[in-house]
Amino acid sequence: MPTIAGPSSSPHKHIVAARPENTGVPEVNTPRKRKLRSDSAAEVASTVVVTESSFSTPMKRKSPRRCAVSYPRTLKEEDEEDSKGKLESPVISAVKDRFDCLDVKSKWDPRDDDQMKAVKEALHVSTAPSTVVCREEEQKRVLEFVKGCMEQKKAGSLYICGCPGTGKSLSMEKVRQQAEEWAKQEGLPCLETVSVNCTSLTKTTDIFSKILGESETGKKVNGSSSPLQQLQDLFSQKQQSSSTKMTLIIADEMDYLVTRDRGVLHELFMLTTLPFSRCILIGVANAIDLADRFLPKLKSLNCKPLVVTFRAYSTEQILRILQERLVELPYVAFQSKALELCARKVSAASGDMRKALSVCRSALEILETEVKGSTDEEPQSPVEEDQVVKINHMVAALSKTFKSPVVDTIQSLPQHQQIIVCSAAKAFRGSKKDRSIAELNKLYLEICKSSMITPAGITEFCNMCTVLNDQGILKLSKARDDKLKRVSLRVDEADITFALKMSAVSISSVKSNLSSVKSIAVTHHHRQPPPSPPSLRFPSSLSSPPATSLHCNDVSSISGSKLLPVSRLPPIKSSPSPTPSLDSSVNQLTKFKEAAEKGNLVPLYRCVFSDHLTPILAYRCLVKEDDRDAPSFLFESVQPGLQASNIGRYSVVGAQPTIEIVAKGNVVTVMDHGAGRRTVEEVDDPMMVPQKIMEEWEPQRIDELPEAFCGGWVGYFSYDTVRYVEKKKLPFSNAPEDDRSLPDVHLGLYDDVIVFDHVEKKAYVIHWVRIDKDRSVEDNYTDGMYQLESLVSRIQDQKPPKMPTGFIKLRTEQFGPKLEKSTMTSDAYKEAVLEAKEHILAGDIFQIVLSQRFERRTFADPFEIYRALRIVNPSPYMAYLQARGCILVASSPEILLRSKNRRITNRPLAGTVRRGKSPKEDLELEKELLSDEKQCAEHIMLVDLGRNDVGKVSKPGSVEVEKLMNIERYSHVMHISSTVKGELLDDLTSWDALRAALPVGTVSGAPKVKAMELIDELEVTRRGPYSGGFGGISFNGDMDIALALRTMVFPTNTRYDTLYSYKHPQRRREWIAHIQAGAGVVADSNPDDEQRECENKAAALARAIDLAESSFLEKPEVTTPRINNVLE
């Protein structure tokens, strides 16, 4: 049995292994035979026993580029730490006994080609281990699935997804072997296996001919029809022999079968649903979101594959796998801390085991080059005891693996060209986006002077700039005189930072070069310890580098040790905003430090004038016209008034969420954009996922921020989220047809928001900093200020986006023509109303809200329609929300739930009448509305429902009806409104209150659950976002969710390409607007009236589309007035 050494075997805790006891003792330098995945039979290896080392806590996950440049501690520091016993491993008696039995251990010699080859073989990707560790649970699930199909002689399908390098293919090979062995033991017919790697297919449909050709049953089929048709005929006919074999089809790399309509994938999985199918299909794919694209349609066709997710390897798992591969070697090649560093960095970057093996092999090659290079220059000397792969070798390998190709180009440049690139990095940190060659030459001369390097002449300097232009690093404009050519930077500033830091070229600079410069003196085999953090200063407004980038405060960023956080911001243009004073920065830093001591989430903000900026313009600065799939939001408000509607005090804009949560049924996808990680899991209640994430937060709010939403979760909750709570009475299986396959929940975590205060005419630009405990408070503050300044510069762009002006030519107070196309015909809806009345008369329910979905096609863009909706139907909750799969354009008058300081509010809004043409007529209509017994009875019923929802989660005795049957006036109508409040129970959160409230009685009925059961029977399609909720949940847990009424849904996957494109008036795209409206049905309801109510509500929203089309699509009529008219 192989074993590893105890803690006393090495001062550096190296991994030590011995050969299996049951084998002969071969020559110590003989390499182990390489075993490939293609081998027909896997060699049975001995059980591996590994001691558990108490490794240090893994670092916080960061971007791959940061992984490449972490400064290791010196070996002296490691020895001191080891002497204190910080990494001592517990001694396991069985391991110790096995270790004591080993008489001979081969000494590691990196100069020995055979030993080096053996270690490389062990770390090779194609070397298949005898067991696949860390995947036992996934293999067990798949094997049980295959066994169940074979025992029942029943076809089935299984879908496996996961990131690359997570052991999916190797695990399936092990499952195949175990299934064949199990079939022999149980006396079942031999399992026939067909393995197809989809990357080898010429076209996607070739998979059917591949299956037909490799299957023994398929070879007997003759016919002139297509391979797919032959397979369908084969599995649609009863087999003559009772001992017909089951066929196991493993389709690896299934991502390559994706077509526009996913037809090949659908046909492949549907083979398992044929009447006499005997095939077991296992599809393996790397794309995490592939299931979201093709599984919904399969489920609608009664094909429900089992989904197994292979999650990315964690630090502990990667470390264990590396140990398992190395433990069989009779010598120590890696320092344990080096392996730990590799595991930690790779898990943070991708969790790809193949990447980890590649990094280890690369580190081994670096050691080999180092050792052989030294032996060529010096006589052969004994091998040092610690001549193994250490942390510095691993750091170099990580840098080589994760760095950008541009880094190699910059590092290969001659010294003077590197100095020019360094000069450019400094030059373009100011407000200018380009400079002349003469200006760049001045900076070049300064760096050469401070570094005591002889500079090149101006002619040679221009030639070097031309060379850098040809290599794609600089961009030169045309000019008659070379000195007048404009120079701009094409590459990422982060790549320059990293390349010059790792370069062997030594460049010294003075303080005037790039602000507090230090020398860049880093050699390949010797690392200086990291310098102390630079003095704190506000970063100036920068041109932010594209995509992933690093912020260089000064040349110490190029020469220093610390990498700053990765920016996800797109390129921005600088703004001439003044830099805060030193006193202001010190004061804000002091507040930041105080807040950071109390919590781990601290806001930074800048307050700017908003008299030149509107929320519409700010949103367009953050989200471009053609980026309609980017999650983002714009919230605005209009408060009800006596005479007319008044604009609300606050508007909020946000874009580029740090984390996204998308739930479809019970499958939740979490996209962490900051860590570059995507996970998929199946949970009972997806709404628990954001709640658990929030539990880790300790937000510290600053008093100066406005009393509005200032950052947190933003998104929508569909009507169907009630099925997470009422699992038995309202399961997803009983829901109507899901013809759009929209997410049930979509939330984005917004660290960057802009809050407009329309009263004080200013805007708060806010960035929330997540305190990294592994870094100093000053570093966290500096990084946060850089992100904040970047956000400010984007809304203070010198060239703001041009917005279409639009010409209002319609009477916005009038309804447009009714919409003809609906999910239900007029007669079908009226029949549903009559059936609902029968249930009311039978005493099943008191009231029910039946809805139907209308459809309107338009060439107007959703954002243009939102601009029009603000005019047509201003409301307290206006929203433009871009989510995954759809865009919501809403003007809701009603809140679903509000929770502030643990005080929850429910505000039923029911009973409607039009506005009068004068204040006097308004009062007359108000009296008529309050005297309408039907509408008042309906409203009181909904108030009781609201009291019930609030009472479920409130302290006893705290529920009260604060306002009862008040009249609220809006632009076109008046509503009866009541307010119910309560105090949240101590052990509950606002999320619990939201679960209790969704959906409110005004969109379902009473009793609520029974009414929703009938809605599932009477409505023909799922409601989706309609009658759910949208809004924000602050970092501190406060919640303000609006009811999704008067909401248009634009599915992004139903956007049709036409002869048009967005930016040209004659070239646009066609959109489908879904407008859903409902009517409350009671005992004396008239079906014709309810149908008319639905049509009127939908037509009111469609008026916004009419206005957008007439304003933004049609050219304005330009007429020249006659002179006599002017004189008149």
CATH superfamily of domain region 827-857+893-1052+1074-1086: Anthranilate synthase (3.60.120.10)
Q: Structure pTM? A: 0.52
pLDDT on residue 63: 40
Backbone angles phi, psi at 501, to 5 degrees: -70, -35
pLDDT, one tens digit per residue, over 395-412 is 888 877 776 777 778 877
Helices (H), 29-112: 64-67, 75-83, 93-101
Whether 651 and 614 have beta carbons less than 8 Å apart is answered as no
Is 803 in a helix, a strand, or coil?
Answer: coil
Low-confidence stretches of the chain (pLDDT beneath 50): 1-105, 504-583, 642-645, 812-813, 815, 1056-1065, 1116-1128
Closest CA to 627 of 1062, 1049, 1030: 1062
187: left (phi over 0), alpha (psi -120 to 50) or beta: left
Q: In degrees, to the nearest 5, what angle opens at C-alpha 891 toward C-alphas 889 and 892?
A: 120
Residue 280, SS3 per DSSP: strand
Q: 77: left (phi > 0), else alpha (psi -120 to 50), else beta?
A: alpha
| Residue 288, pLDDT score | 67
- Residue 575: the pLDDT is 38
- The pLDDT, as a whole number, for residue 630 is 86
* pLDDT tens sequence across 283-322: 998 876 677 777 777 877 788 888 898 988 999 999 999 9
d(CA 406, CA 551): 17
**Identical fold at 588-826+858-892+1053-1073+1087-1117 and 827-857+893-1052+1074-1086?**
yes
- Domain ranges across the chain: 1-134+314-402, 136-310, 404-559, 588-826+858-892+1053-1073+1087-1117, 827-857+893-1052+1074-1086
194: Cβ–Cβ under 8 A, 6 or more apart, which residues?
Answer: 210, 211, 214, 215, 247, 248, 249, 250
Round to whole Å and give the CA distance between 623 and 616.
Answer: 11
Query: What pLDDT does 330 receive?
Result: 84
In a 10 Å sphere around its CB, with 0-12 CB exposed, 13-18 middle and 19+ buried, how is residue 608 labelled? Answer: middle
- Report the distance separating Cα 830 and Cα 996, nearest Å: 31
Strand order in the sheet with 474-476: 435-436, 486-489, 474-476
Q: CATH topology for 136-310?
A: Rossmann fold (3.40.50)
Pick 404-559's CATH classification: 3.90.1300.10, 1.10.10.10, 1.10.600.10, 1.10.340.70.
Answer: 1.10.10.10
The closest alpha carbon to 496, from 420, 401, 421, belongs to: 421
C-alpha distances in Å from residue 899, one per residue of 80, 603, 720: 54, 21, 22
Q: Which contiguous run of DSSP H or E holds residue 448? A: helix 437-450
Q: What value, to the nearest 5°, has the Cα angle with vertex 208 and ends 205 and 214?
A: 140
Residue recorded with tokens 């009779």: 330
Residue 626's CB: how many other CB atoms inside 10 A? 10
pLDDT attached to residue 186: 87
The partner residues of 559 in beta bridges, in order of sequence, read none
Contact predicate 463/412, CB 8 Å: no
Q: What is the pLDDT of residue 907?
A: 86
What does the pLDDT read at residue 803? 60
- Quote the pLDDT of residue 1067: 58
Q: Beta 667-672 vs 659-664: how paired, if at all? A: antiparallel
- 3-class DSSP state of 661: strand
Residue 680 to residue 216: CA distance in whole angstroms: 37
The residues carrying an active-site annotation are 975, 1002, 1026, 1046, 1080
- pLDDT in the model for residue 201: 86
d(CA 169, CA 150): 21
588-826+858-892+1053-1073+1087-1117 under CATH 3.30.930, yes or no: no
Termini Cα distance of the chain: 109
Question: How many other β-carbons are positioned within 10 Å of the β-carbon of residue 128?
Answer: 19
Q: What is the largest CA-CA distance in the chain?
A: 117
Task: Look at residue 866 in the predicted model and tell me its pLDDT.
Answer: 92
- Measured CA to CA, the distance from residue 628 to residue 1061 in angstroms comes to 13
b (16+ CB within 10 A) / e for 477-500: eeeeebeebbbbbebbbbbbbbbb
CA–CA gap between residue 605 and residue 598 (Å, rounded): 19
* pLDDT value of residue 1014: 94
pLDDT at 807: 57
